[in-house]
Structure 1
Amino acid sequence: MNTKYIDLINQSFYFPQEEFKLRNKTLQFHDIDLMKLIEEYGAPLKFTYLPQISNNISRAKGWFAKAIEKNEYKGKYNYCYCTKSSHFKHVLHEALKNDIHIETSSAFDIDIVESLKKEGKITDETFVISNGFKRAQYVTNIARLINGGHKNCVPIIDNYEEIDLLSEEINGKYSIGIRIASEEEPKFEFYTSRLGIGYKNIVPFYNRQIKDNDQVELKMLHFFINTGIRDNAYYWNELLKCLKVYTALKKICPTLDSLNIGGGFPIKNSLAFEFDYEYMVDEILHQIKMVCEEEEVDVPNIFTEFGSFTVGESGGAVYEVLYQKQQNDREKWNMINSSFITTLPDTWAINKRFVMLPINRWHESYERVLLGGLTCDSDDYYNSEQHMNAIYLPKYNKDKPLYIGFFNTGAYQETIGGFGGLQHCLIPTPKHILIDKDEDGNITTKLFSEQQKSEDLLKILGYNEL
């Protein structure tokens, strides 16, 4: 009988897959021996596999290059990394190996940009696309960057006051973009995004505040929708509305030459994940070219701001199943030695799915379970609401440790979870490992941060005398 966990996976999915395979009966992720990692560093732990960042950037650049050639598209493509997905130095250093640009969201982002410039990781030629609602410190920092010679810093105007605020502090001429306030899907609780300026107001706004303003040059229109890039009627309809605004603006604003289509590429969240990236890129460029030809305007240069797509698939979290609680006839709770609320906050905040697989004991029988975290919060769990299917794992056995991994967790989880700070119920942040490859292609590991100690948390709480 096919009653082993490996049989279940083989019957349910195509396996092995590009990044997942078994070796010596244990799970490998991008050829990383996860059991060896556990033996060396223990569990729980988090890791970042740095080469996957460069790999995904290269994939996206390849899709756009192919689409540009196929469509005989005359514009250029610029890949920007959305820093809010993960601000860590090791992430930025890896991403910037690939001749990319930066998108910022707040004042302190500019400090990071200036630090990277000092290190020689970026230059004045690197585009810094400054998004977000801008007030005093953010405006000051943008102005400092531009006044220091970084002319490729392009603040994206989010509201009607920002041009005046920026012009007061920037010396001389500077370039800007305008963000479109896209209309949300009908299921949203609100109709129009709070970010940007409405479709119908952009041309009047240009005529009123930009057209005769000698200090400001409009270079970019920014378009992004919360649901991301999806092959559905809603996305294509919003893109078409954006292109109508772009072509209308281009006819009266010769300096406008770029369209920023934001981020929103999905990342793999189960072994059944399917998304035709190449088709989507090709169709987007085709639609842009077709509308521009109909309106007899030049096609724009294309900018993207991929954040989760850049860094998400580089991350993982490993836990040990500590104990099993049978709460009723149907529900078995496998308790992990950490907390979902603190280490994978998106699992409870927005019911986000991640790839979840056991690391060992694949050749043993399995059972249906729920996964619970260590906090005393009823929301600290992971079940079929987040997971694409019911959760099956090798049967709990107190004499045989079971380790499980959550994969493609590299975007947002550390910043939302409050890396290095207080955690719910004072559950410590796990240790974090950086995984790379040396010149010979061999896997290397380095401890980035230790698991939090009680004194770390007590100091934050004011118990300094301890």
Structure 2
Amino acid sequence: MNTKYIDLIEQTFDWPQEEFQTENNKLFWRGINLMDLIATYGAPLKFTYLPKISENINKAKGWFQASIDKHNYKGNYFYSYCTKSSHFKHVLNEALKNDIHIETSSAFDIDIVLNLKKEGKIKDSTFVICNGFKRDQYIQNIGNLINSGHENCIPIIDNFEELPLLQKETSKPFKVGIRIASEEEPKFEFYTSRLGIGYKNIVSFYEREIADNEQVELKMLHFFINTGIRDNAYYWNELMKCLNVYINLKKVCPTLDSLNIGGGFPIKNSLAFDFDYQYMIDEIVHQIKQACDEAEVSVPNIFTEFGSFTVGESGATIYEILYQKKQNDRERWNMINSSFITTLPDSWAINKRFIMLPINKWNKQYERVLLGGLTCDSDDYYNSEQHINGIYLPVYEKNNPLYIGFFNTGAYQESIGGFGGLQHCLIPHPKHLLLDRDAGGNLTVTIFKEQQKSSEMLSILGYEESAETTGNTKKILKEAIL
């Protein structure tokens, strides 16, 4: 009788898979023995596998180039990274190895751009696409970047008041884009995105504010919908609306030469995941070319802003099952040695599901369980997988620890969870490793951040003075005496 965990997986999915294999009843991820990592660095543990970032970037570039060649498309493709998915320097350094561009969303993003420019990672030729609702500091920082000579900085106009504010902060001519306020899916609580300018107002806005403006040149139309790039009627309908705006705008604006279709490529969230990326890109390129050819306007350069697709599949998180609580006849709670709210906040906030697999004990019988976090919060749990309404794991044994891994967690989790700051119930953030390959393909491991210490949280909370606070206090006292 097939009652082992390995039997369950092999009967349910195609197994092994590209990134997952088992050996001696232990899980290997991208060729990495995860039990060896645990033995060396412990658990809970977070890590980022840097080569996957470059791999996904170059996959997307290849797919777009294949479609451009297939359809004899006359425009170019530009891959941009959406920095809000993960602002960490190791992520940007890896991504920028691949001749890409970036999209920013706030004032401090521009400080990161300036830092990377000093190191030569971002060049003057790199497109810096500035999205989001722009407050004073963001406007000022964009102006400073343009004034410094970065001609490929393109602020995307989100509302009617941003253009005059940008003009006040810039002493040079500059390029802009306009974001379309797309219509939301029928299930949303509102009809139109709060971001961007309505379809019907874009051409008149251009003619009124930009057409005769010697300081401003319109280069890009920006389009994005919250549900991302999906093969459904809603996506294709919104794309066609966007193309109609592009065509009408292009007829009165000869400088317009780029269409930014945003981000939204899905990433693998289940062992049963199936998404035909090449087909979707083929259809997008074909639809753009067909619409432009019929309208007799030149096709645009295509920009994308992939965030989760760039970095999501590079991340993973490992927990140890500390204890099993049997609360009634049916429910077994496997308690992890961390918190979902602090380390995988999307699983709590938006019910997002990741690939979850045991790291060891694949030859043991399995049972249905619930996963609980350490906090005293009733919402700190994980109770189902993407493909089934339940969680099955090897049986709990008190003297034989079970470790579990959540995979493709590299986007948003650290920033939403407040990396390095306060954590819910003061549960510390886990140790974080950077995994890479040397020239010979050998795995290299660097500790990016040790597990958070109590002193770090106590300092934030005001119980312990940090060195910076102490120094500032002494400076103020000295100035007062003088």
TM-score, normalization by structure 2:
0.96
The separation in 2 between residues aligned to 1:317 and 1:41, in whole angstroms, is: 13
Q: 1:264 — aligned with what?
A: 264
Deviations 1:248-292 (A, max 9, x none): 000000000000000000000010000000000000000000000
Q: Which amino acid aligns with 2:333?
A: W
Alpha-carbon offset, residue 52 of structure 1: 0.2
Alpha-carbon offset, residue 387 of structure 1: 6.5
| Contact 2:79 2:305 survives alignment (8 Å) | yes
Change over 3 Å in CA distance of 1:78–1:26 after alignment to 2: same
The separation in 2 between residues aligned to 1:150 and 1:280, in whole angstroms, is: 33
What are the ranges of 5 or more consecutive residues in structure 1 without an aligned counterpart?
A: none
Q: 2:168 — aligned with what?
A: 168
Deviations 1:38-77 (A, max 9, x none): 0010000100000000000010001000000001000000
| Contact 2:383 2:391 survives alignment (8 Å) | yes
Alpha-carbon offset, residue 329 of structure 1: 1.1
* Residue-pair matches, total: 466
Structure 1 residue 287 corresponds to structure 2 residue 287: yes
Deviations 1:330-381 (A, max 9, x none): 1110000000000000001000010000000001100000000000000000
Q: Tell me, what secondary structure is at the counterpart of 1:231?
A: coil
| Contact 1:340 1:347 survives alignment (8 Å) | yes
| Contact 1:347 1:386 survives alignment (8 Å) | no
Change over 3 Å in CA distance of 1:262–1:388 after alignment to 2: farther
Deviations 1:206-256 (A, max 9, x none): 111111111100000000000000000000000000000000000000000
Alpha-carbon offset, residue 465 of structure 1: 5.8
| Contact 1:336 1:371 survives alignment (8 Å) | yes
Q: Which amino acid aligns with 2:458?
A: L
Q: 2:475 — aligned with what?
A: none
The separation in 2 between residues aligned to 1:148 and 1:134, in whole angstroms, is: 19
Q: Which amino acid aligns with 1:32?
A: I
Structure 1 residue 156 corresponds to structure 2 residue 156: yes
* Structure 1 residue ranges (4+ consecutive) displaced by more than 2 angstroms after TM superposition: 385-389
The separation in 1 between residues aligned to 2:121 and 2:441, in whole angstroms, is: 23
Q: 1:452 — aligned with what?
A: 452
Alpha-carbon offset, residue 456 of structure 1: 1.0
The separation in 1 between residues aligned to 2:84 and 2:386, in whole angstroms, is: 23
The separation in 2 between residues aligned to 1:192 and 1:429, in whole angstroms, is: 37
| Contact 1:184 1:191 survives alignment (8 Å) | yes
Q: 1:51 — aligned with what?
A: 51
The separation in 1 between residues aligned to 2:18 and 2:54, in whole angstroms, is: 16
| Contact 1:351 1:385 survives alignment (8 Å) | no
Alpha-carbon offset, residue 389 of structure 1: 3.7
Structure 1 residue 135 corresponds to structure 2 residue 135: yes
Structure 1 residue 306 corresponds to structure 2 residue 295: no
Structure 1 residue 183 corresponds to structure 2 residue 180: no
Structure 1 residue 319 corresponds to structure 2 residue 311: no
Q: Tell me, what secondary structure is at the counterpart of 2:390?
A: coil
Alpha-carbon offset, residue 24 of structure 1: 2.4
Q: Which amino acid aligns with 1:342?
A: T
Q: Tell me, what secondary structure is at the counterpart of 2:361?
A: coil
Q: Which amino acid aligns with 1:384?
A: S
| Contact 1:367 1:393 survives alignment (8 Å) | yes
Alpha-carbon offset, residue 101 of structure 1: 0.2
The separation in 1 between residues aligned to 2:6 and 2:24, in whole angstroms, is: 13
Q: 2:254 — aligned with what?
A: 254
| Contact 1:351 1:386 survives alignment (8 Å) | no
The separation in 2 between residues aligned to 1:171 and 1:295, in whole angstroms, is: 37
Alpha-carbon offset, residue 172 of structure 1: 2.0
Q: Tell me, what secondary structure is at the counterpart of 2:464?
A: coil
| Contact 2:336 2:372 survives alignment (8 Å) | yes
Alpha-carbon offset, residue 328 of structure 1: 1.0
Structure 1 residue 193 corresponds to structure 2 residue 193: yes
Q: 1:402 — aligned with what?
A: 402
Deviations 1:298-351 (A, max 9, x none): 000000000000000000000000000111111110000000000000001000
Q: Which amino acid aligns with 1:340?
A: F
| Contact 1:128 1:152 survives alignment (8 Å) | yes
Q: 2:367 — aligned with what?
A: 367
The separation in 2 between residues aligned to 1:378 and 1:413, in whole angstroms, is: 20
Q: Which amino acid aligns with 1:63?
A: W
The separation in 1 between residues aligned to 2:260 and 2:42, in whole angstroms, is: 43
Q: Which amino acid aligns with 1:108?
A: F
Q: Tell me, what secondary structure is at the counterpart of 1:370?
A: strand
Alpha-carbon offset, residue 453 of structure 1: 1.1
The separation in 2 between residues aligned to 1:120 and 1:243, in whole angstroms, is: 36
What are the ranges of 5 or more consecutive residues in structure 2 without an aligned counterpart?
A: 467-482
Alpha-carbon offset, residue 385 of structure 1: 7.0
Q: 2:82 — aligned with what?
A: 82
| Contact 1:354 1:387 survives alignment (8 Å) | no
Q: Tell me, what secondary structure is at the counterpart of 2:305?
A: strand
The separation in 2 between residues aligned to 1:297 and 1:424, in whole angstroms, is: 54
Q: What RMSD, in angstroms, separates the aligned Cα atoms of the two structures?
A: 0.9
The separation in 2 between residues aligned to 1:72 and 1:465, in whole angstroms, is: 64
The separation in 1 between residues aligned to 2:388 and 2:105, in whole angstroms, is: 32
Q: 1:99 — aligned with what?
A: 99
Alpha-carbon offset, residue 429 of structure 1: 0.2
